[in-house]
Structure 1
Amino acid sequence: MLIPVKYKRPFVWLRRFRNRCGYGIHSPFAFHLITDVVNEKLPYYDYSDLRNLERTLIGNGCRKLFPQNESIKLRRLLYRLANYVHPQYIVFVGEETMLFSYLKKACRKAHSVQTLNGIIGMQPQTYFLVYIRFGFNVIQLEDICRYYIDRASTNSLLVVQGIGFSCEMKIFWKRLKTYPQVSITFDLYDVGLVFFDHSKIKQDYIVNF
């Protein structure tokens, strides 16, 4: 029987306790991302507006926009990542959730697209942030990831949800890290972050999120 993610979370946090706050990380890029983006605690002005929108949507019965595996903590993380990356394109792969609103709010000037099948027309060397929701089978997921990896620019960011949710996803994540186009990766359990800047040494970081 599969154990729901919410019951696993305390054990995951304890297992990753030593991987908090950037301790032992020597890369300035990785340390900055972990301490000033992933673990940033200061509120952003948009948080209040987004929270009010959430209350309105829930009050109107739009609960499908708030799946259990996308917490407000995760939504705010993606807001901060989008604000940090400032991509030209935002692609939300999967059924739309409130998280897409956070991405769009963080980068108002970006061209934002939501797609169910995962693929949109995109030129090579596109500066993007792509978020792929958990729910695709591994074969579909790898095809989608490969498509965007082949079109990523140096500053692009690929975010894959659910890399720690199952054995299949853990194996997939391990394989994804070996792609030659991939440079630095961050394993946050709920999501995996994939960067493509080869001016930095290829490395995988486990983060207690």
Structure 2
Amino acid sequence: MSKTYQIQSYFNFLKRSTNQHGVHSPFVYDLVTKCFYDKKKYPAYQDIKAYRQQLLSNTASLKVTDLGTGSQVFKTNKRSISKMAAVAGSSYKDAKLLYRLTQYLQCDSILELGTSLGIATQALALGHPKATLTTIEGCPNISAAAKNTFKTFDLNHIDVVTNDFRDAINRLQTNTYDLVYFDGNHQKEPTLQYFEALLPTITNDSLFIFDDIYWSKDMTDAWNMIKQHPKVTVTIDTYNFGFVFFRQEQAKEHFTIRL
């Protein structure tokens, strides 16, 4: 069901989407032109590539505890790291965008729900190395694998929390986050619960990023409900990601942008 839905929703996205020329908000126009469409070859891209390559060549297997929707690809809970990196990890293109975002917005305090093998985590960390970055992973074996790879790449400022998301959110010590990346549980109700639970941590400049908003009809329903929330002012749908801003000075507006 999901694959058919994803293909259909992608065609609909292409029909609706525009580039920077359809954008009249100066804030969003700058974000799209200076960050989304930034073509510079940053040295950090080599590190992002090296991190991915290391995982793609790692043939070790992990026993996985799935706390979210489970996988659309894997039929067993024993999975090789290389296959997980190829199928479930952030793509190189997405990781580069996450890097540019934390660099462009200078996010000092970052929270990630769903570490997986840490491809996105590394990109977020490289974009603003002085940031405090907390990442939450529900599966102990995946969490341990990510910690090992972080160590190999000298990513010592990442705090990895191994816990169920709801529990972990309840125990968070930080009062506010500049960026929260939701990439763990692609189900409607949990996504909405985590969104509501983390709303008290926003400032006027905070950004929430939702991964895979067209994973399923349920996930798109959650995305549409988030867009309508009274605290949300600006959203940007790039198909793979849904970006949510809370800037009070902005008129409520929803953008659909091709990357």
The two structures have a TM-score, normalised by structure 2, of: 0.72
Alignment-derived partner of residue 78 in structure 1: 98
Identify which of 37, 40, 43 aligns with 1:42.
40
Per-residue deviation, 1:96: 2.2
Q: Please name the residue that 1:175 is paired with.
A: 225
What residue in structure 2 maps to residue 121 of structure 1? 172
CA distance in 2, matches of 1:70, 1:174: 23
Amino acid of the structure 1 residue aligned with 2:40: L
How do 1:155-174 residues align onto structure 2 when only pairs under 5 Å count?
Answer: 155-174=205-224
- Give the length in aligned residue pairs: 206
Rounded Cα–Cα distance in structure 2 between residues aligned with 1:69 and 1:31: 29
2:31 alignment counterpart: 33
Query: Cα distance 1:29–1:5, how it changes in 2: closer, same or farther (>3 A)?
Result: same
Residue 228 of structure 2 aligns to a residue whose secondary structure is coil
Distance in structure 1 (CA, Å) of the matches to 2:244 and 2:22: 20
Cα deviation 1:149-207 (Å, max 9, x = unaligned): 22201111110111122211221111101212211110111110011111111111011
CA contact (8 A) 1:85 1:155 kept: no
The whole-number CA distance in structure 2 between the counterparts of 1:12 and 1:80 is 27
- Is the 8 Å Cα contact of residues 49 and 92 (structure 2) preserved in structure 1? no
Q: Residues of 1 paired with 2:100 and 2:5: CA distance?
A: 23
Name the SS of the counterpart of 1:96 in structure 2: coil
Provide the residue aligned with 2:3 in structure 1: 3
8 A Cα contact 1:85 1:156, kept in partner: no
Q: Deviations over 1:57-92 (max 9, x none)?
A: 322333224435731111111111111222222111
Shift of 1:136: 3.5
- Seen in structure 2, the aligned counterparts of structure 1 residues 4 and 82 have a Cα distance that, compared at 3 Å, is farther
Match runs of 1:144-159 below 5 Å: 144-159=194-209
Distance of 1:171 and 1:186 partners within structure 2: 16
Which runs of at least 4 in structure 1 moved beyond 3 Å after TM superposition?
Answer: 4-14, 65-69
- 2-structure distance, mates of 1:43, 1:8: 33
Match of 2:149? none
Q: Quote how far apart the aligned CAs of 1:14 are.
A: 3.9
Report how far residue 7 of structure 1 moved: 5.6
Q: 1:186 and 2:207 equivalent? A: no
1:11 Cα deviation from its structure 2 partner = 3.4
Asked if residue 100 in structure 1 is aligned to residue 124 in structure 2, the reply is no
Change (3 A) 1:123 1:150: same
Q: Does the aligned pair in 1 maintain the 2:111–2:177 contact within 8 Å?
A: no
Q: Percent identity?
A: 26
Letter in 1 for 2:206: S
User: Runs of 5+ in structure 2 lacking a partner?
Assistant: 60-80, 138-163
Q: Determine the C-alpha separation between the residues in 1 that align with 2:12 and 2:89.
A: 15
Deviation at 1:46, TM superposition (A): 0.5
1:108-138 CA-to-partner distances (Å, cap 9, x unmatched) read 11111111333151454x1421111153321
RMSD: 2.3
Contiguous gaps of at least 5 residues in structure 1: none
2:123 alignment partner AA = Y
Provide Cα deviations, 1:17-45, integer angstroms capped at 9, x if missing partner: x512x112111111111122112222112
